[in-house]
Amino acid sequence: MDRNTVTGLALMFLIMLGWFWYMTPDEAQLAAQREQRRIEDSLRIAAQTAEAPAEQPAAELMADPATTAAETGLPVGFASSATDTVLTTVRTPLYTYVFSSLGAGPVHMEPTEYTKWDGSPVQLIADSTRSAYSLEFVSNRNYNISTRNLLFAAEVPDSLVLAEGGTGTLRYVLEPEPGKRLVYTYTFDASTYEIGLSIAFEGIQDLMGERTFDFGWMSRLNSTEKSRASEATYKSGYVYSGDVLEQVILSDAGRDTKIFNGTTNWVSTKTKFFTQVIRPVEPADGAVITAQVDGTPTDELSVHHYTAAVRLKVSDSGTTDLRLYAGPLEYQALSAFEATAYDMVDVGYGWLNWFSKPFVKYLILPVINYLGEWLGNIGLAIIFFAALIKLLLHPLTKKSFESMAAMKELQPEMAALQEKYKNDPAKQQEATMKLFKKHKVNPLGGCLPNLLQIPVLVTLWRFFSNAIEIRGESFLWADDLSAPDVIIPLPIHIPLLGDHIAGFVLLMTASMVWQMKVSGQTGASANPQMKMFQYILPVMLLVMFNNFASGLSLYYLVFNLLSIWQQVHINRKMEAAKAKA
């Protein structure tokens, strides 16, 4: 790494730090902004309460179980002869779901193995008053009908408890008139998060304006993490159409609807660690994703609401089958449901996906999961994994460390050349290159191997930040390896750094300083720019990693310690060879 590179990195960091410091409002401005947002949110909530629920589409018919024929545009009794809402609990080793006859779908979804950051149960569905799923169509009298507002007759038990490997069904019927029925049959398998749904149109298609309908998830997914603002950056909708995965995400306040035409395999909405997916057994003809953000998107009080629906035709047989998933963004569970669904998890950038996705699927996840089960702790698994990656990268790092050690040996001669030709940079450069050639040293030998490691480092950074496999796992003082391990709370919020200091980040920073000293980059004869870099680089890393997952900092800490051991070994080997010569 030459002087220009060091200087450039240092200037970039200082400029970024100054910019964020300048752009960050002071405490008085922050207080004024919070008060303004509080007033705006209060007015918005009051307006929504006075009018209609915020999550209802504007064109949706707000039908009540007692809605009249004139109001629905359908024959008398379309709201079903049922008069009471029936709730049914479905419990398996993996989850506890509650289904309602109002809309004939789930109103409560609680994965058993996961909790929120405060230890309370995860409840995925924000609206617990009616089904999260809805079948929507235009009636033959041109009304928009949404089944989540209609009361079905529930042909179900009070509860359904399934042991491992067990199966069960729930059945709901909407019969607007004799001979015209809409029948939902849900099928549960206690060993998976998947739910099967068979929708039977028995004459009711005659009441539809066209034999097309949308089936989608209409409820907002609840936040589960401590920082709702941070989690909100991961909330979005997805559609997999034409072998291409497209994301719909709204970065500003407002509402947007995306309509996709053509063969569609599945749609979904997700938070950082949880998702729901709708996959028709036969591909759909299109999809609709709606995004709505209320309030400032980066504010803790902002509300991010995504809905996703597939567009289908009533088949000649009158039956449509769907596969539904609601649960964690966990690789094994999602892959068993749909091979392409795990691509929703951000494990790298678009330009790097060719490397990141297979690296995560076929190396990181299998090794971390296996070591976690074998060792009984994910933190220990990360330590062993860091050792494995160090072993795999040994040829690259060995070349880099040998080059740095050789450069260290040449530093006295380089210093002499700098003094001899201090008034003639051209001759100084020429003499230096001759010195490198004489001793067969490549000045870039220490940097190029590190550049080749960038894909690995970027992938690990994204994986540890987004993997539910390490969420909630503790190690030493870290309660959650997917979040920062705060050990020093700060009284103020510092731009980029945040309002805390993380423990593993401090240790990682110290190991970086130690490593630079061992490599000889900061010795008495070192380049003055490298001496400066000794202090700038650790500060940059401290600021960058302080708000990242503690599992990532733990990984780099172990990796750095192994690198120090490797550098010491190479240095001793070269000193022995020199003494022998």
Q: What is the pLDDT of residue 397?
A: 67
pTM of the model: 0.75
What is the rounded distance in angstroms from the CA atom of residue 355 to the CA atom of residue 235?
Answer: 25
Q: Phi and psi (nearest 5°) for 435? A: -60, -45
Q: What is the SS3 assignment for 254-317?
A: EEEEEEEEEEEEEEEEECCCEEEEEEECCCEEEEEEEEEEECCCCCCCCEEEEEEEEEEECCCC
Which pLDDT score, from 0 to 100, does residue 41 have? Answer: 45
Q: Classify burial at 301, counting beta carbons within 10 Å of its beta carbon; exposed 0-12, middle 13-18, buried 19 or more.
A: middle
The two structure tokens encoding residue 238: 């997805």
| Residues sharing a CB contact under 8 Å with residue 473, sequence separation 6 or more, in sequence order | 372, 377, 378, 379, 480, 481, 482, 551
User: Which residue, among 265, 215, 271, has the nearest Cα to 240 in the 3D structure?
Assistant: 265
Which residues face 431 on adjacent strands? none
DSSP conformational letter for 363: I
* pLDDT at position 403: 66
Specify the amino acid at residue 447.
C
CB atoms within 10 A of CB 69: 14
On whether the CB atoms of residues 291 and 255 are closer than 8 A, the answer is yes
Which residue type does 373 have? E
pLDDT at 406: 65
Measured distance CA(334)–CA(346) in Å, rounded: 14
φ, ψ for residue 554, nearest 5 deg: -60, -45
Q: Terminus-to-terminus CA distance in the chain, angstroms?
A: 29
Tell the residue number behind the tokens 């997805």, with chain if given.
238
- Kindly tell me the sign of the dihedral angle through the C-alpha atoms of 496, 501, 504, 505: positive
**487 touches 556 (CB < 8 A):** no
Please tell me the distance from the alpha carbon of residue 87 to that of residue 439, in angstroms, as a whole number. 81
Domain boundaries, the chain: 58-223+275-284+313-344, 353-580
Alpha carbon 3 to chain centroid, angstroms? 38
What's residue 180's pLDDT? 87
Dist CA 555 CA 551 (whole Å): 6
How many other C-beta atoms can be found within 10 angstroms of the C-beta atom of residue 256?
13
pLDDT at 257: 92
pLDDT of residue 297: 78
What does the pLDDT read at residue 273? 92
For residue 256, the cross-strand partners are 291
pLDDT in tens, the chain (581 residues): 444 444 444 555 555 555 445 444 555 554 454 454 444 444 443 444 333 333 333 233 333 333 433 344 444 344 455 567 889 999 999 999 999 999 999 999 999 999 888 888 999 999 889 999 999 998 888 888 899 999 999 988 888 999 988 999 999 999 888 888 999 999 999 999 999 999 999 988 888 888 899 999 999 999 888 878 888 888 999 999 888 999 999 888 889 999 999 999 999 999 999 999 999 999 999 999 999 998 887 787 888 999 999 999 998 888 999 999 999 999 989 989 999 999 998 887 777 888 888 888 888 888 888 888 898 888 999 999 888 888 887 776 666 666 666 666 666 777 776 666 666 677 777 777 776 666 666 665 556 556 667 788 888 888 888 888 888 888 888 888 888 888 888 887 777 777 788 888 889 888 888 877 776 655 544 455 556 666 677 777 788 788 888 888 898 889 888 888 887 877 777 677 667 76
Tokens at 516, concatenated: 């630079």
Largest interatomic CA distance in the chain: 103
pLDDT (tens digit per residue) in 525-566: 445 555 666 667 777 778 878 888 888 889 888 988 888 888
210 secondary structure, DSSP code: S
Which pairing describes strands 236-241 and 244-248: parallel, antiparallel, or unpaired? Answer: antiparallel
